[in-house]
Copies of this chain bind each other. A is one copy, B any other.
Amino acid sequence: MAGELARAAVVGTGLIGGSLLLRLRDAGLDVTGWDPDPETRGRVRERGVVVADTVEDAVAGRDVVFLCGPLPTLPATLARVAAVTDDRCVLTDVGSVKAEVSTVATVQGLGHRFVPGHPMAGADRAGPDAAEPGLLDGAAWVLCPGPTGLDAFRRLAALLVDVFHARVVPMSAPEHDGAAALASHVPHVLAGALAGTVHRSALRDAVLTLAAGSFSDGTRVAGGPPERTANMLLGNRDRVLAELDALGVFLGELTEALRAGDADALAERLAEGRQTRSTLRAREFTAHRREFPCAADHVGELAYLRELGAAGGHLTGVREAGGAVTYTGHLPATPPLG
């Protein structure tokens, strides 16, 4: 399948785009990069990758283009890239918020070939020098197939499984944004708040000396670029605010139990959190196959895909043959007790 998308381009070659580019190159694809920053282009070229001087040169004649620039630039870049690529060329992005760019693409008439994407991987660094080909290997990679874009979805998902061994998580864009608010955006807010509180504390020096696991882990993503994190949060503002409210309720319960000196109530709330960790650590999946005719109206296929993602499942195989597509899907098994 990946052979179908043998000519690739990556637009925006920072941490994520640069890592993508290096892995696609290592996998033997014909891949070209481009970045608006001449210095970044130079640094990526130093790593032995082909980098064009204009975005048009980078994407012309390509089968697939990954848009990896900052969130606020995506609508304009999408239009620019769409204008100079073939109507069969699959377009995708790697932004951390999906509803807005998905709507923009539909409005631009690109719903049949733009597949919103979000690989769940990153680092607290940024820029092309932090890029490494293994960064996205084995990641959960959200793709948001739309009703007219299933053909593009299948081709892109097959490439991601093939090259990145991705666990492809199909979701609607709003579902992604709802889940990502808790899985990523709120954790970034908490990390920033904790690290920022220490920054303002009179005890800062002593706190940093005692900072071991819980503090160091809990603030790691606060080391990322503030503008990148701000864009992410603003791009999913309503969902993040709603989940911050939910978190505030839980935090309030913990605080009140502590204030009241109620050890049982405190341990009960903490036990709820421990269940999440146990589930996360011990998750098991059951595999299945599902086949759909390629030429059907896609309603059943789309429903299957979105239900899979919403239920915590993912795909590790997408195969088109004989007029049918076969998915290898995985669903969480009944969670272990206790």
Identify the A interface with B (CB < 8 A): 120-124, 139-140, 142, 169, 171, 175-176, 178-180, 182-184, 186-201, 203-227, 229-231, 233-234, 237, 240-241, 243-244, 246-247, 249-251, 254-255, 258-259, 261, 263, 266-281, 283, 309-314, 332
Does A250 contact B207, Cβ atoms closer than 8 Å? no
* CB neighbours of A269 from chain B (8 A): 192, 196
Task: Name, among A190, A195, A270, the residue most crowded by chain B CB atoms within 10 Å (CB to CB).
Answer: A270
Q: With A and B bound together, what is the CA distance between A267 and B171 in angstroms?
A: 29
Does A276 contact B311, Cβ atoms closer than 8 Å? no
* CB neighbours of A226 from chain B (8 A): 266-268, 270-271, 274
Does B182 contact A203, Cβ atoms closer than 8 Å? yes
**Given A193-B251, A214-B187, A270-B192, A175–B206 Cβ distance below 8 Å?**
yes
A-B pairs with beta carbons under 8 Å apart, 6 shown: A140-B212, A190-B218, A191-B214, A195-B272, A205-B310, A230-B267
Integer count of this chain's copies in the complex: 2
Does A140 contact B189, Cβ atoms closer than 8 Å? no
Q: A122-B213, A197-B249 are in contact. List 13 more A-B contacts (CB 8 A).
A: A182-B215, A183-B214, A184-B214, A184-B215, A196-B250, A197-B246, A197-B247, A219-B277, A222-B273, A223-B278, A230-B267, A234-B266, A244-B255
